[in-house]
Structure 1
Amino acid sequence: MNSLDTLGYCKRLEAVGVPREQAEVHAQILTEVITKVATKDGLKELEVATKDGMKKLEVGLKELEVATKRDLNELEVRLKEWVALYVKEQIAELKADILKWFIAVSIAQASFVIAVLRYLPH
């Protein structure tokens, strides 16, 4: 950090005719300004810290991406299993319905044949 020799600065101002009080205020203000000015080292430290932070964010994002892909793959597997189970259940229900209709139609057909045979002359 830059430092200012305030006593020397005041003496130089007084030497060119600036009143002591004004020279002291001038030195105080200049000291405040210098302490608030960013230095090259400070900017370099900030740059390094920013780069480190960005690298950490990139790593974190990559980890989130991997976790998200893993979660999506797990969901896909579970969804496929659920769909397969649902389809099997629907097929079983359809088989049962078809069997009921087949039995009903067979009974109706047998009844029709019996009725026709009964009323035919022998």
Structure 2
Amino acid sequence: MNSLDTLGYCKRLETVGVPREQAEVHAQMLAEVVAQVATKDDLDALEVRLKEWVKEWVSLYVGEQIQSLKVDMLKWYITLCIAQTSLIIAALRYLPH
């Protein structure tokens, strides 16, 4: 979590001539902004979640596509084996004995 010493920040502004009320508002606004800034822990957690999401997506969608390609390749392989066998049988049948 980001921390900001608002009291110290306010006092530093006052020492350079900023009125107290204005310095307090500056300190409050800066504290709100700093609270919204992502920390290293936030980014690390996001990285872990993103890696898990990518891994899940790849296993789900890419895995399905690979399965589909395997089936298509098997169909082509069987078709080509049958065609090759038919050509060999036809060539042997029409060769002179």
Amino acid at match of 1:45: A
> What do residues 43-95 of structure 1 show as CA deviations (whole Å, max 9, x unaligned)?
1211121111100101101442255458769xx7xxxxxxxxxxxxxxxxxxx
What is the Cα deviation at residue 38 of structure 1? 1.7
Q: Percent identity?
A: 55
* Cα separation, 2, equivalents of 1:68 and 1:32: 52
- Equivalent residue pairs, number: 77
**Higher RCO by CA contacts (8 Å cutoff, separation 6 or greater):** 2
* Cα separation, 1, equivalents of 2:37 and 2:6: 17
- Dislocated runs of 4+, deviation >6 Å: 70-73
Larger radius of gyration: 1
Q: Structure 2: which 5+ residue stretches go unaligned? A: 76-97
Query: Who is 2:33 aligned against?
Result: 33
What is the Cα deviation at residue 40 of structure 1? 1.8
1:7 paired to 2:1: no
Q: RMSD over aligned Cα, in angstroms? A: 2.5
* Cα separation, 2, equivalents of 1:31 and 1:68: 54
TM-score with structure 2 setting the length: 0.63
Instruction: Please list, as runs of the form range in 1=range in 2, the aligned pairs for 1:79-118 lying within 5 A after superposition.
Output: none
What is the Cα deviation at residue 17 of structure 1? 1.4
Q: Structure 1: which 5+ residue stretches go unaligned? A: 77-122
Instruction: Please list, as runs of the form range in 1=range in 2, the aligned pairs for 1:40-79 lying within 5 A after superposition.
Output: 40-65=40-65, 68=68
* Cα separation, 2, equivalents of 1:62 and 1:19: 62
TM-score with structure 1 setting the length: 0.51
Amino acid at match of 2:58: E
